[in-house]
Amino acid sequence: MLDNNSTKAINLTIPRPLMLPILLLAMATASMATTPSIDKKCLYVSSFHEGHEWSDTIENSIREKMKGQCELRKVEMDSENNTSPDEIFKVTNSIIKVIDDWQPDVVITSDDTAAKYLIATHYRDDKTPFVFSGVNGTVDEYGFPFKNVTGIIEVAPIKTMLREAVKISRFGRRAVYLGPDIALEKKNFSRMKLIAEEFKISLEPLYYSSFSQWKRALLKINEYDFAVMGSNADTKNWAFDNELETVLEVIKKPTFTTDISMMPYTAFGFTKLATEQGEWAAEVAIRILNGTPPNEIPMASNKKWEFWVNEDIISRLSTPINRRLLRKAKRLQTAALD
Amino acid sequence: MPVTTDNTLKLSALMGAIVIFTIVALLALWVSHSTVTKELSKQALRSTQQINEKLTLVSGTLHSMAAVHQASATGFEPTQFEMFADKLVSNQASITATGRYDVVLYEDLEHLQSDTQLHGVVKFQPTTITDEGIITPLDSKSQYTILIAFFPQDPVSANLIGLDFSELTSTQSAILESISRNAPIPAELPARWLATGQLNLFVPTYYGYQIPDSAEDRSLQTDGGYFITLDLNEIIAQVTGDEFPLSIGISVRSINNDTLLVNQGAGLNEQQIATRFFPSLPIKHHLRIGSESATVVYRTPAGVTQTQLLSAMIKGLIALALFLIGLAIFTAVKISRAETVANKLALAKEREQALVTLNSLQDGVITTDQADIIEFVNPSMLDVLNTNRAALVGLPLEEVLSANFTAENSVASYNDADSSNISSINSIRQLLDNSQETKFFDCHSSAIVDQDNNKIGAILTMRDISKEHALTTKLAHQATHDALTALPNRRKFESLLEKIMLQKEAVASGCFVVGYIDLDQFKLVNDTVGHAAGDALLKKLAIDLESLAPENITIARLGGDEFGFISTKHNGNQCANDDNTTNQKSDGYRPNNQSKNKNTKVATGIARLFHEFFQSYFYQTQDNTFSIRASIGLTTIKPDHSTINDVLTEVDIACYTAKDSGRNGYVIYDAEDVETKQREGEMLYLPMLQTALKNDRFVLYTQPIASTNAGTKNPFHHYECLLRLIDDDGEIVTPYKFIVAAERYDLINDIDRWVIESAFSQIDKLRGTALENTIFSINLSGQSAVDSSMPDFIEEKLTEHNINSSNICFELTETAVISNFAQAQKLIAFARNRGCTIALDDFGAGASSYGYLKNLEVDYLKIDGQFVKEMTSNKVDFEMVRSMNAVGKALGIKTIAEFVESEDIMQELASINVDFAQGYHIGKPAPMADLLDSDRLQYVA
């Protein structure tokens, strides 16, 4: 905090004529010691496409953190569009080709698609270092850790959410999980159900394949004590319409989610932070660029999460909500959704 | 040395002194200042680092409070805050207070109130506070930023709970800025805030568990924040302690840098003299407080600077003193050398000048050594002594003086109280040299003394004052002797009398006699043969009297035709002139001249001596032979006479009595004599008259004069103004008792003037009344009648009081007119020309010279009352009145009869055509003021 621009040079004892050369020398030395050469190459592989908020946030965090550390390139697997095995195969091969041709010093991936189809399939114990991020819940299915792979696992605050859900619903233990009918959601449900059992919550799945199915599924929420909203991944044509407005207005039971993108339709949110994923991955990548082998860097999981409320939906609930809880929660704002 | 050069030298010395003082003082100040500044700079740096550490700690603490809040599952916990704040304030003395503010929506307000109250927060309503510290409730609004917790909380600070910070511009700005920067921001709180003048740092908190990354999100998600009040003085005190040599000030400006939020510590605004010369101080350091900059300023305390200045001044003064001492020594040596040379030259010059002077002096000069042996005699002195220098040098001075001079009138003067130390002596000595004319010398002898006042010689100067001595002697004689007769004058006479009166025992012998000799009708000699003959008579008479008088009698001329004599010697109990005076007889002895004792015998003898002398003394001129007679008054000096006036008054009375008794006689004063008593009585009025004139103790009465045809009926058209005196007992005294004394002692003229002034001023007041045309007669004495200045006085008073002249009639007695006829005629002519009338008073009582009457132009003839009062019973008186009336009528003069005391007289007067009458029958004298009584006065339109 000391801003040493006093009228007296109060802490400088080095003769002024020598100050500039020493300063320049020190800066150069520091740069050599701590900063990788700018000719280092880093590749970022996104499982999604540009415009995917989660993935974009991770990318932005990585770019922010690694500014000046290496030349950063980005490739996308666009898993929401490349859903068939052929499409996945083709996009994976194209990325492998980039890696082979460009020879990046480190590859950073985000989310499960890249971890599964690229790292686990093609680069087990390879010479190319990989840093994964945003892998949901566990990496056991991918066989990590490899000698050349480390990263951060994306852990949703499911326990917190379910504990608060029981309190908010006045100790209701009958719950429903609404999720798209995809493998990832089923995996998420399975993991959540195990945790729910710890709280003696009866959690039933209700999968949907379209927006309209989802809206109908919403109408069943009032039959439970509360509902958990899965993601809207792979569900197309999502948008507010009059029907959705009407449906949301009749929901009287509290709803919970760990997916920030579902907050416009959910009363309470307990969400992870994409920035934490990106920042950790970047920190690890920098250490690898600086010479640390990936297997010497332990895998981590995220610690930060956020608590949201949607006041419009809460205002329509039949269950009275503890106001002190509400005073803690973040307000859902339009800006936060953009 | 020329004056200009001397002044230039002084100016140069002064300028040099100033320059040396200034240079030394500034050098001392510079050295002192630089040394102190270096040391102080080191201490300032250490101090700033310590302040920085403390501020960092405080800032970190504030961040910690926000972080704990952020991590809390329920946000703000009052109990948790209370414990945290308690530890914070008690462990960090610089933190005096802390608090929590919440952003609250209107719909949440009620819940917040009830919820916080459950946790020990006082019941509150949203309020705001003015700069004067007045807290007022707020109207409803959509969102508040409310103070919900304050530590330390007490009954006073509890009032602040509910305060809406968003209502206060400064706090709202700071809160928004703290959100924008997500950092502690200082803010100014209201002037009457609990901890005014201290630094308040605000840090925001947010909903949820994470701090939003963007400023926009932070603005949307803020749920309030915490603030800490920081006492910068306490930090300064902790850092500096008691021995710190600098005064420290910390200033923090508001976020927009236009308001000085805090200006803690001393000396920020001081202007030190030293810093004006050496602006290396103050030292300024900039610190970060939150995201703001604070300035720490160090100044040299006044004491340090003053000590430096004082030290520098002292060093400068020492240098100045050394310079001045050196300059003084140099100058003194230089002057001493110059003076030594100059003194030698001056001494030689002065010696030469002295010798020349002494040799050229007209006065004689002798100088002696310590033993009064003559060392030097100048030429003038040699001329006086008619000798040469060799004959005198080496002789004792006193020997020379006593051989040649006789001393007289020695006067000694001393330079101090020690009579033995005579510094100078003045004396007049007469030269003892029969071969020359008598010469007197004024001798002045002065002692010559050294620096210790020891006599080392003497100088005697002798100036020939023979001429002055002769002149002085002559003047002394003239002062005491009459120039005409060479007899002792009145001064000498009175001096001689005074000396005699001091000889009390001799006086008791009754041998000393004093007398006046007043020549009778001496005026006749002057008027007949002229004043020269008169003077010759006086000179001859003086010689003859001196020849006549025994040795023990001194004759003096006292003035005019008045001589005095005084017996001055006696032989024990035997008076010097007993034998030849006591048996002499004379018929000229007027009073009860039975000698009762020896005193009278002596006086009688002397009186007879002179009286008999005059019985056969004649003065013969070429054409006339005058028989010279004299009235002699004398008295014996007695022990009970305390002053010479006592003696001379008796002589005066005796002489006056002798004169009044028909002249050519002598009177020896006898206190028991009736006539003497009368004279004395008259004289007693003298002081009374003087007092009356001085204190306005006279009053005017008027007595009416009526026409014999009109009778006694008022109104009267003519009044006579009569003078009265009010004595010490308030009694009215008529003029018959005091007029003689007034005339004899020359007071009558002043009295007449008083009468004129008083009468005119009262007549002036009658203007416009029925008495406006009344005639008022005013008596003028003989002395006033012949007073040449009287016409001017009358003219002045007529004009001053604007008197109609026809109202005024002046009465003159026949005697007064005759005494100086010519002058009286002038007065009469003036009065008549001026329009006044003239009355001849008391006609018939004096000479009654119809010849005078014929030549006088008078308007009224007042027939003396002695003829009128008995005219009805005495045919002679009747005829006298008729005769005088007839003469008056023949001359065209109106007649007034006095003493008309009955109707019979009135009718008789009317029968013989006397015009007017005056007397008790007409009206008694009454105060003139009565005429002015407004009740009686009739005013005319």
Which of the listed ranges B48-57, B194-203, B923-932 does the model predict with the highest average pLDDT?
B923-932
pLDDT at B181 over 60: yes
The contacts of residue B262 (CB under 8 Å, 6+ apart) are B186, B197, B198, B199, B232, B250, B251, B252
Domain extent at residue B587: 481-672
Report the DSSP pairing between strands B374-377 and A255-257.
unpaired
Interior/surface letters B613-645, b for 16+ CB within 10 angstroms, e for the rest = bbeebebeeeeeebebbbbbbbbbbeeebeebe
Annotate A102-141 with DSSP letters as a single string. H--SEEEEEHHHIIIIIIIHH-TT-SS-EEEEEEES--GG
- Across residues A201-227, what is the average pLDDT? 92
- Across residues B695-716, what is the average pLDDT? 84
Note the pLDDT of residue A110: 93
Which of the four pLDDT bands, split at 50, 70 and 90, describes residue B464?
confident
* DSSP count for chain A of H helices, then E strands: 13, 14
pLDDT tens profile A248-268: 889 999 999 998 888 989 999
> Bigger pLDDT: A185 or B73?
A185
Residues B712 and B790 in one domain: yes
- Identify the bridge partners of residue B619 per DSSP, sorted by sequence position: B626
Would you say B287 and B296 are in contact if contact means Cβ atoms under 8 Å apart? yes
The structural domain count of chain B equals 3
pLDDT at A218 over 70: yes
Q: Would the CB atoms of B288 and A1 count as touching at under 8 Å?
A: yes
CA B488 to the chain's CA centroid:
45
Lowest mean pLDDT among A288-292, B805-809, B823-827, B852-856: B852-856
Would you say B136 and B162 are in contact if contact means Cβ atoms under 8 Å apart? no
- Chain A, residues 44-63, CB within 8 A of chain B, namely none
List chain A residues with CB under 8 Å of B289.
1
Annotate B756-801 with DSSP letters as a single string. HHHHHHHHHTTTTBTTTT-EEEEEE-HHHHT-TTHHHHHHHHHHHT
Domain boundaries, chain A: 41-155+273-301, 158-272+305-337
Which of the listed ranges A321-335, B39-53, B509-523 does the model predict with the highest average pLDDT?
B509-523
- Across residues B414-419, what is the average pLDDT? 39
The token pair at B268 is 């920020």
Question: How far, in Å, are A120, B179, B485, B532, B625 from residue B622 at the CA level?
Answer: 194, 152, 21, 13, 8
pLDDT at A336 over 60: no
- Identify the bridge partners of residue B894 per DSSP, sorted by sequence position: B860
> Bigger pLDDT: B377 or B271?
B377
Matching residue, tokens 């999968």: A207
Q: Would the CB atoms of B207 and A331 count as touching at under 8 Å?
A: yes
Would you say B68 and B79 are in contact if contact means Cβ atoms under 8 Å apart? no
**Measured distance CA(B48)–CA(A9) in Å, rounded:** 13
Note the pLDDT of residue A30: 43
- DSSP at B139: P
Would you say A175 and A224 are in contact if contact means Cβ atoms under 8 Å apart? yes
The token pair at B532 is 């020269």
Q: Would the CB atoms of B208 and A2 count as touching at under 8 Å?
A: no
Q: Which of B642, B672, B702 is the last residue of a domain?
A: B672
Residues B487 and B428 in one domain: no
- Across residues B276-297, what is the average pLDDT? 68
- Across residues B485-505, what is the average pLDDT? 90
> Bigger pLDDT: B844 or A77?
A77
The token pair at B61 is 């603490």
Which of the four pLDDT bands, split at 50, 70 and 90, describes residue B444?
confident
Going by CATH, does the domain composed of A158-272+305-337 fall within 3.50.4.10?
no
- Across residues B226-237, what is the average pLDDT? 84
Residues B464 and B485 in one domain: no
CATH number for the domain that contains residue B555: 3.30.70.270
SS3 label, residue A330: strand
* Nearest Cα to Cα of residue A172 among A196, A205, A147: A196
- Across residues B761-778, what is the average pLDDT? 88
Quick one: which H or E segment has residue B99? strand B95-105
Would you say A254 and A226 are in contact if contact means Cβ atoms under 8 Å apart? yes
Note the pLDDT of residue B575: 62
Check the CA dihedral B767-B772-B773-B774 and report its sign. negative
Residue B146, amino acid: I
* Nearest Cα to Cα of residue B186 among B91, B309, B62, B78: B62
pLDDT at A34 over 50: no
CATH number for the domain that contains residue B366: 3.30.450.20
B121 vs A: CB within 8 A = no
> Bigger pLDDT: A26 or A44?
A44
Note the pLDDT of residue B311: 74
Residues B704 and B628 in one domain: no
A329 vs B: CB within 8 A = yes
- Across residues A142-163, what is the average pLDDT? 90
Q: Which of B472, B507, B528 is the last residue of a domain?
A: B472
Residues B590 and B627 in one domain: yes
B731 vs A: CB within 8 A = no
**Measured distance CA(A46)–CA(A79) in Å, rounded:** 9
Note the pLDDT of residue B461: 86
- Identify the bridge partners of residue B779 per DSSP, sorted by sequence position: B811
Any domain includes B26: no
CATH number for the domain that contains residue B895: 3.20.20.450
Residues B453 and B488 in one domain: no
* DSSP count for chain B of H helices, then E strands: 30, 36
Q: Which of B605, B640, B672 is the last residue of a domain?
A: B672
pLDDT tens profile B232-275: 778 888 877 767 777 777 777 665 555 556 665 554 444 444 45
Residues B490 and B522 in one domain: yes
Would you say B515 and B565 are in contact if contact means Cβ atoms under 8 Å apart? yes
Annotate B337-383 with DSSP letters as a single string. HHHHHHHHHHHHHHHHHHHHHHHH-SSEEEEE-TT-BEEEE-HHHHH
Distance in Å, alpha carbon of B175 to nearest chain A alpha carbon: 19
Note the pLDDT of residue B821: 77
Average pLDDT, chain B: 81
A161 vs B: CB within 8 A = no
Any domain includes B321: no
Would you say A231 and A179 are in contact if contact means Cβ atoms under 8 Å apart? yes
Residues B608 and B706 in one domain: no
pLDDT tens profile B74-115: 778 887 888 888 888 888 888 888 999 999 888 888 888 877
Which of the four pLDDT bands, split at 50, 70 and 90, describes residue B517?
very high
Complex ipTM, two decimals? Answer: 0.70
Note the pLDDT of residue A8: 34
Residues B714 and B840 in one domain: yes
Any domain includes B874: yes
Smallest CA–CA distance from B45 into chain A, residue? A10
Residue B415's φ and ψ, nearest 5 degrees, are -90, -10
Average pLDDT, chain A: 84
Same fold, A41-155+273-301 and A158-272+305-337: yes
Residue of B57, B104, B211, B221 best to disrupt the A interface, most CBs of A under 10 A: B221
Report the DSSP pairing between strands B630-636 and B666-668.
parallel
**Measured distance CA(B906)–CA(A130) in Å, rounded:** 177
Distance in Å, alpha carbon of B18 to nearest chain A alpha carbon: 35
Alpha helices (H) along B631-747? 644-660, 674-695, 735-744
**Measured distance CA(B860)–CA(B255) in Å, rounded:** 123
Quick one: which H or E segment has residue B831? helix B821-834
The token pair at A255 is 């709803």
Count of CA atoms in the C-beta half-sphere (13 A) of A298: 2
Q: Write the residue in A3, A329, A336 that is nearest to B217 by C-beta.
A: A336
> Bigger pLDDT: A32 or B507?
B507
The contacts of residue B494 (CB under 8 Å, 6+ apart) are B644, B648
Residue A10, amino acid: I
Residues B554 and B575 in one domain: yes
Lowest mean pLDDT among A166-180, B3-17, B174-188, B631-645: B3-17
pLDDT tens profile A47-98: 998 888 888 999 999 999 999 999 999 999 998 888 888 999 999 999 999 9
**Per-residue three-class SS string for B202-244:** EEEEECCCCCCCCHHHHHHHEEEEEEEEECHHHHHHHHHCCCC
Annotate B632-654 with DSSP letters as a single string. EEEEE--TT--SHHHHHHHHHHH
- Across residues B328-339, what is the average pLDDT? 86
Residues B724 and B595 in one domain: no
**Measured distance CA(B632)–CA(B652) in Å, rounded:** 10
- Across residues B190-209, what is the average pLDDT? 78
Residue B282: asked if its preceding bond is cis (omega within 30°), the reply is yes
Note the pLDDT of residue A290: 93
Q: Would the CB atoms of A7 and B284 count as touching at under 8 Å?
A: yes
- Across residues B569-587, what is the average pLDDT? 48
CATH superfamily for A41-155+273-301 is Response regulator (3.40.50.2300)
Which of the four pLDDT bands, split at 50, 70 and 90, describes residue B674?
confident
Q: Would the CB atoms of A327 and B112 count as touching at under 8 Å?
A: yes
Any domain includes B139: no
pLDDT at B120 over 80: no
Any domain includes B87: no
Would you say B49 and B325 are in contact if contact means Cβ atoms under 8 Å apart? no
pLDDT at A220 over 90: yes
* Nearest Cα to Cα of residue A232 among A188, A200, A193: A188
**Measured distance CA(B440)–CA(B406) in Å, rounded:** 10
Quick one: which H or E segment has residue A93? helix A85-102
Residues B500 and B381 in one domain: no
SS3 label, residue B296: strand
* Nearest Cα to Cα of residue A199 among A178, A222, A229, A168: A168
* Nearest Cα to Cα of residue A148 among A48, A284, A303, A40: A284
Give percent above pLDDT 90 in chain B.
21
Any domain includes B905: yes
SS3 label, residue B744: helix
Any domain includes B680: no
- Across residues B307-321, what is the average pLDDT? 76
Question: How far, in Å, are B154, B355, B377, B392, B422 from residue B361 at the CA level?
Answer: 112, 10, 11, 18, 25
Q: Would the CB atoms of A329 and B208 count as touching at under 8 Å?
A: yes
Matching residue, tokens 């920042």: A279
Note the pLDDT of residue B852: 73
B546-550 own/partner pairs: CB under 8 Å, 24+ apart: B546/B487, B548/B609, B548/B610, B548/B613, B549/B609, B550/B576, B550/B577, B550/B580
Q: Would the CB atoms of B208 and A328 count as touching at under 8 Å?
A: yes
